[in-house]
Amino acid sequence: MSLSVGDVAPEFSLPDQDKQVVSLTELRGAPVLLVFYPFAFSGKCTGELCQLRDELAVYTDAGVRVLAISTDPVFSLKAFRDAESLTFPLLSDFWPHGTVAQAYGAFNEKAGMAVRATFLVDAEGKVAFAEVNSPGDVREQSGWKSAVAGLAA
């Protein structure tokens, strides 16, 4: 079951593409956009993350940290980040496989992958926006931007 607006966001610590551990607890005090995606290098995921890269200032100018999370290993994430010039951390929920995605209700157990889910966590650690898309559905990022604007208001 996915998280809802108002729920406390589950804490996590995951390695990024450079094997540096990123912890949600350490980011407390600032909003964080969590973008779960199935696989590095897949067409739809690449398109979504490249759009996020191109529009990153919408989030960073509002003080929002952006973290993308998949069940890919760190080595794949490093290659993906380099190939697409992504400038935000790509976190690996590889092992234990999908534990963080499961905690957020963003894991497809049968396929062993994260689903397309997005959560905006406010500065106090509560979910301010939650969206879980069906497999294969590309996300419309206008909802994320509206949620970020709502935090700033």
Residues carrying an active site annotation: 45
**Contact (CB, 8 A) for 125 and 24:** yes
Token pair for residue 7? 């729920």
- What is d(CA 143, CA 1) in angstroms, rounded to the nearest whole number? 21
What is the rounded distance in angstroms from the CA atom of residue 135 to the CA atom of residue 99?
Answer: 19
H or E stretch at 36: strand 32-36
Cis peptide before 96 (omega within 30 of 0): yes
CB atoms within 10 A of CB 132: 18
